[in-house]
Chains A and B, each alone.
Chain A
Amino acid sequence: MTTGLYVHLPFCASKCSYCDFYSVPGRLDLVDAYVRALLKEVRQYAGLPFTTLYLGGGTPSLIGPDGLRKLMKGLRRTANVSALQEATLEVNPESASAEFFQAALDNGFGRVSIGVQTMVDTELRSVGRAHTALQGAEAVMRASALGFSSISVDLIAGLPGQNQQSLRRSLDGLLSLHIDHLSLYCLSLEPGTPLADQPPANLPSENKQADMFQMARDMLAAAGFEHYEISNFARSGHQCVHNLNYWRGGDYAGLGASASSHLQGRRYKNLSDLQAYMRRPAAAIESSEELGAGTKAAEEAMLRLRLIQEGLDVGDLAARFGHDRIQCLSDRLSSLARENALIFDGTSYRLHPSRVLTSNPILAAVLEEA
Chain B
Amino acid sequence: MTNNRRNFCIIAHIDHGKSTLADRILELSGLVGVNGSEQVLDGMELERERGITIKSSPIRIPYRAANGEEYILNLIDTPGHVDFNYEVSRSLRACEGAILLVDATQGVQAQTVANAYRAIDAGLEIIPVINKIDMPAAMIDDCCLQFDDILGIAVDAALTISAKKGTGVPELLEDIITKVPPPQGNQDAPLKSLIFDSQYDPYRGVIMHVRVFSGSIKAGDRIMLKSNGKTYEVEEVGYFGLRLMPCEILAAGEVGYVSAMVRTVADINVGDTIVSPDLPQTEAISGFRRSQPVVFCGLYPTDSNDYVKLRVALEKLQLNDSSIVFEKESSAALGNGFRVGFLGMLHMDITLERLRREYEQELIATLPSVVYKVTTTKGQMLHIDNPSKFPTPQEIEHIEEPMVRAHLMTPTEFVGPCMELAKSKRGIMIAMEHPDQRRTLFTFDFPLAEIIVDFHDRLKSTTKGYASMDYEMAAYHAADLVKVDILINGDPVDALSYVCVRQGAPARGRALIAKLRELIPRQQFRVPLQAAIGGNIVAREDIPAIRKDVLAKCYGGDVTRKRKLLEKQKEGKKRMKMVGSVEVPQEAFFSLLKVDQ
Q: A residues near B, CB below 8 A?
A: 4, 6, 8, 21, 56, 185-186, 188, 206-207, 209-210, 213, 230-231, 243, 246-247, 252, 254, 258-262, 267, 269, 287, 289, 299, 302-303, 306, 355-361, 363-365, 367-368
8 Å CB contact of B563 from A4, A357, A367: A367
Q: Is the pair A210, B560 in contact by a Cβ cutoff of 8 Å?
A: no
Q: B residues near A, CB below 8 A?
A: 524, 544, 546-560, 563, 566-567, 569-570, 573
Closest to A208 in B: B547
Q: Is the pair B563, A299 in contact by a Cβ cutoff of 8 Å?
A: yes
Closest to A256 in B: B556
Closest to A254 in B: B556
Q: Is the pair A358, B554 in contact by a Cβ cutoff of 8 Å?
A: no
8 Å CB contact of B552 from A188, A247, A302, A358: A188
8 Å CB contact of A367 from B524, B557, B570: B570
Q: Is the pair A358, B560 in contact by a Cβ cutoff of 8 Å?
A: no
How far apart are the CA atoms of A9 and B550 in the complex, in Å?
Answer: 26
Q: Is the pair A260, B548 in contact by a Cβ cutoff of 8 Å?
A: no
- Provide the residues of chain B in CB contact with A254, threshold 8 Å: 556-557
8 Å CB contact of A231 from B544, B553, B569: B553
Q: Is the pair B559, A262 in contact by a Cβ cutoff of 8 Å?
A: yes
- Provide the residues of chain A in CB contact with B556, threshold 8 Å: 6, 8, 21, 56, 254, 258-260
8 Å CB contact of B550 from A186, A260, A287: A186
Other 15 A-B pairs with CB < 8 A, given A21-B556, A210-B547: A21-B555, A186-B552, A209-B547, A260-B557, A287-B560, A299-B559, A356-B550, A358-B549, A358-B550, A360-B549, A360-B550, A360-B566, A364-B566, A364-B573, A367-B566
Q: Is the pair B553, A185 in contact by a Cβ cutoff of 8 Å?
A: yes
- Provide the residues of chain A in CB contact with B551, threshold 8 Å: 230, 360, 363
Q: Is the pair B560, A269 in contact by a Cβ cutoff of 8 Å?
A: yes
Question: A196 to nearest B CB, angstroms?
Answer: 15
Known: A185-B552, A206-B547. A367 touches B559 (CB 8 A): no
8 Å CB contact of A246 from B544, B546, B559, B563: B559
Main secondary structure of the interface of A (DSSP, over half): mixed
How far apart are the CA atoms of A261 and B557 in the complex, in Å?
Answer: 7
Q: Is the pair A230, B557 in contact by a Cβ cutoff of 8 Å?
A: no
How far apart are the CA atoms of A6 and B555 in the complex, in Å?
Answer: 10
Closest to B572 in A: A364
Q: Is the pair A252, B549 in contact by a Cβ cutoff of 8 Å?
A: no
- Provide the residues of chain A in CB contact with B573, threshold 8 Å: 361, 364
Q: Is the pair A209, B548 in contact by a Cβ cutoff of 8 Å?
A: yes
How far apart are the CA atoms of A269 and B188 in the complex, in Å?
Answer: 85
How far apart are the CA atoms of A231 and B551 in the complex, in Å?
Answer: 9
How far apart are the CA atoms of A287 and B554 in the complex, in Å?
Answer: 18
Q: Is the pair A360, B558 in contact by a Cβ cutoff of 8 Å?
A: no
- Provide the residues of chain A in CB contact with B548, threshold 8 Å: 186, 206, 209-210, 213, 357-358
* A/B interface sample: 23 pairs, CB < 8 A: A6-B557, A21-B556, A56-B555, A56-B556, A186-B552, A206-B548, A230-B551, A231-B553, A261-B557, A267-B560, A269-B558, A356-B550, A357-B547, A359-B549, A359-B550, A360-B550, A361-B549, A361-B569, A363-B566, A364-B569, A364-B570, A364-B573, A367-B570
How far apart are the CA atoms of A192 and B123 in the complex, in Å?
Answer: 66
- Provide the residues of chain B in CB contact with A360, threshold 8 Å: 549-551, 566, 569
- Provide the residues of chain A in CB contact with B567, threshold 8 Å: 364, 367
How far apart are the CA atoms of A154 and B558 in the complex, in Å?
Answer: 19
How far apart are the CA atoms of A254 and B548 in the complex, in Å?
Answer: 30
Report the 3 A-B pairs with minimum CB-CB distance, sorted nearest first.
A210-B547, A364-B566, A185-B552
- Provide the residues of chain B in CB contact with A6, threshold 8 Å: 556-557
How far apart are the CA atoms of A303 and B560 in the complex, in Å?
Answer: 11
Closest to A245 in B: B557
- Provide the residues of chain B in CB contact with A261, threshold 8 Å: 557
Closest to A8 in B: B556
- Provide the residues of chain A in CB contact with B553, threshold 8 Å: 185, 231
How far apart are the CA atoms of A207 and B526 in the complex, in Å?
Answer: 13
- Provide the residues of chain A in CB contact with B566, threshold 8 Å: 302, 360, 363-364, 367
Q: Is the pair B547, A207 in contact by a Cβ cutoff of 8 Å?
A: yes
How far apart are the CA atoms of A210 and B522 in the complex, in Å?
Answer: 14
Question: B261 to nearest A CB, angstroms?
Answer: 47
- Provide the residues of chain A in CB contact with B549, threshold 8 Å: 357-361
Known: A230-B550, A361-B549. A207 touches B560 (CB 8 A): no
Closest to A366 in B: B566
Closest to B565 in A: A360
